[in-house]
Structure 1
Amino acid sequence: MTTIYDIAKKTGYSPTTVSKVFNNYPDVREKTRAKILETAKEMGYLPNANARSLTTKRSWTIGILFVEATGAGIRHPYFGAVIESFKKISVSKGYDLMFISKDVGGRRSSYVEHCKIRGVDGVVVILSSNDDPDFQELLDSGIPCVILDSSPEHVHSVYSDNIGGSMLALRYLHSLGHRSIAHISGGVNTFAGEQRQYGYEQALRELELNLREGYITGSDFFSTESGYEAMKRLLALEDRPTAVYAAGDLLALGAIRAVQDHGLNVPGDVSVIGFDDIEMSRYITPALTTVRQDTEQLGKVAAEILLSSIEERDTAVKSVMLPVELMIRESCRPVT
């Protein structure tokens, strides 16, 4: 079996340098690192995980925790895209990913207990609801954590500019001549839902538009079903809106279906704008105008912050808000 001493002998570097490469130490030149890794590949060397853990005092494992009420988890396009980006950075640094739950060995436990049993080095939390008391226990445990889609105090967080994105959407609809603009909310029990609804209300004030009765509707979940039912309520209003801003693309897709099932047309009768820019949004008919979140950057920044916290014991709390942009497609039109 090939050892680090065999690789050291073949490359001419010391066993210490070879060991540093496999343990991702930063004080190794890239040329040296590349030569050692290439030689290891040629010789069929695989680092021993247990020996590596003893050397570095780390498990080289990061936990992924979903704290959200819908149960959709990674099936939601937003979550999947962010985790894929997070995974690229983490794996490139030598870490494995595992999902954290409250079940260990067939019995119920807390998140903290699961993390300690598995010995994870840190946790990335995908958050859409913080109603779970075990979640706060995890944040207080001292295990390095970074939270996506929220901004609590004393914990690393990465999120999009939800308020600014909402205002972009409303300003665009206003520029098209719309003055009756409703909002399908994702629910104020979530950070994103609360922030996007606040942005909608703030934009109304900026544009000197009245918040009309019944013009904010939705549910606690960012789902197509919720969007469909919310749009039905808006269409039943006597003072029907000419445009609808939905807090998520799945909500917007459901809203478009409801308009069509009502015998109306998007954008002919009602303009619809979403938030997220999931891949599906550009392929539906009409293609959805939406506020784009940079899911790749969200995952990348979250990984960099968490790995810095793990490897460099960086205790300075970082809260990063990433910019968004408006993607103009076919689901909105000027008022005539």
Structure 2
Amino acid sequence: MTEPKRPTLRDIAQAAGLSKAATSYALRGLRGSDRTVARVQAIARDMGWSADPAARALAGGRSGNVAIIGSLGDLWRQGLAVMLSEALHQEGLFSAITDVDTSPVRERDALRSLPARRVDAAIVFPVDPSAPYWAEVPERIRLVSLGDALPHRPVARTVLFDNETGISTALNHLAGLGHRSVGLLAPSLPSTPGRPAQLLVEKLGAELGLDVVVGPSASSVAGAAEAAAILLALPARPTALLCLSDTLAFGAYRAARNRGLSIPGDVSILGFDDSELAPLVSPELTTFGWDETAIVAAAIDSVVKDEAPASVAIHPEFLVRTSTGPCSAPPATP
């Protein structure tokens, strides 16, 4: 026998003929007439609904506010932030999304604002995961970090992306095509060069005998185009660009075309997060697929469930398309 499916907030809202937000308020007795509150709570009891204990503590005993904070100029992260917001809403929680670009100062200020905003939990895409300001966040605020661990906040829940597998696969792919000079477009500022993924590229590149040159970039197509243009103007320009997001890769496309370089004939370009546009650009972008549904589910469990694992690892799928090809020696610089 299978267990009956636990009714959701959506099910109760449909039965009550109310929006999910109004239903959530009524279940907690926060808004609505006494009659509406009583009716919604009766429907919930009849359906056998009960909130997860931790979610109930978040959504009832405290504010139910969850912050989503990160560098969101990147198209893939924008989509993931929207998915997280919708999933929190399904749990009867409330979310506010804050873009801090690639600025550690803005990230620090956003974190310091959490107590005044009556936030119970924060899901973060850390700009500078090694910064000491993570330790300043009050212990009552549950932190869930996506992508990187937070050394100064070891109790934070983490949904880790297996960057080592992705980067190793990418560099071996390029090396196998004969590339020896690789430009790295990394979503960071010159003041934050120590991102774990960036350090992995430099370390694994050295092990493969690759010459890796780093181009810090804003998390936008325009910013990446500027950063890629600098790399492609070097006297011994890279024959391949590894971009730590597809948004950066699209900027690299623009820079290559502005210089009259063909892709992949003159320069191979490789992305990292399989945005919806990756198979639509020409040539189609070689990149990595990450299971967004699994990422969101793990993050939400980390917010609402005390028994959720402290860390969950997400592994990438390598998607070889047509933006990478055999190395051709760069033309001599006039």
Asked if 1 retains the 8 angstrom alpha-carbon contact of 2:168 and 2:204, the reply is: yes
Larger Rg: 1
CA displacement at 1:267 relative to structure 2 = 0.8
Structure (1/2) with the larger helix percentage: 1
Q: What is the match of residue 268 of structure 1? A: 265
Going from structure 1 to structure 2, the CA distance change for 1:206 and 1:325 (only over 3 Å counts) comes to farther
The residue that corresponds to 2:79 in the other structure is 81
Per the alignment, in what secondary structure is the counterpart of residue 177 of structure 1? coil
Mapped contact 1:276–1:292 kept (Cα < 8 A): yes
d(CA) in 2 for partners of 1:228, 1:177: 25
Find the aligned partners of 1:279 and 1:177 in 2 and give their Cα distance. Answer: 29
Q: Deviations over 1:152-210 (max 9, x none)?
A: 12211113112221111111112222233332233377999722222322332443x14
Matched, 1:235 2:232: yes
What TM-score results when the alignment is normalised by the length of structure 1?
0.70
- Give how far 1:269 is off: 0.9
- Superposition deviation, residue 118 in structure 1: 5.2
Instruction: Name structure 2 gaps, 5 residues minimum.
Output: 31-55, 100-108, 329-334
Q: CA deviation at 1:224?
A: 2.3
| Per-residue deviation, 1:65 | 3.6
**Structure 2 match to 1:123:** 122
Look up the match of 2:38.
Answer: none
Change (3 A) 1:254 1:266: same
**Residue 41 (1) aligns with residue 16 (2):** yes
Shift of 1:78: 2.3
Find the partner of 1:226 among 207, 223, 228: 223
1:91-170 alignment runs, 5 A limit: 91-99=89-97, 115-116=114-115, 119-129=118-128, 135-138=134-137, 140-152=138-150, 153-170=154-171
Amino acid in structure 2 at the alignment position of 1:62: N
Q: How many angstroms apart in 2 are the aligned matches of 1:232 and 1:32?
A: 53
Task: Measure how far apart 1:296 and its partner are.
Answer: 2.8
Higher mean displacement: 223-232 or 126-135: 126-135
The letter of the residue matching 1:320 is V
TM-score of the aligned structures, taking structure 2 as reference length = 0.71
State the shift of 1:262 in Å: 0.9
Against the structure 1 CA distance between its residues 241 and 33, is the aligned structure 2 distance closer, same or farther, given a 3 Å change threshold? closer
The sequence identity of aligned pairs, in percent, is: 26
Q: Does 1:194 align with 2:217?
A: no
Report what 2:178 is aligned to: 177
Residue identity opposite 1:334 in structure 2: P
Partner of residue 291, structure 1: 288
Question: CA, structure 1 residues 192+248, in 2 after alignment: closer, same or farther (shift >3 Å)?
Answer: farther
Q: Give the Cα separation in 2 of the matches to 1:39 and 1:266.
A: 51
Shift, 1:323, TM fit = 0.5
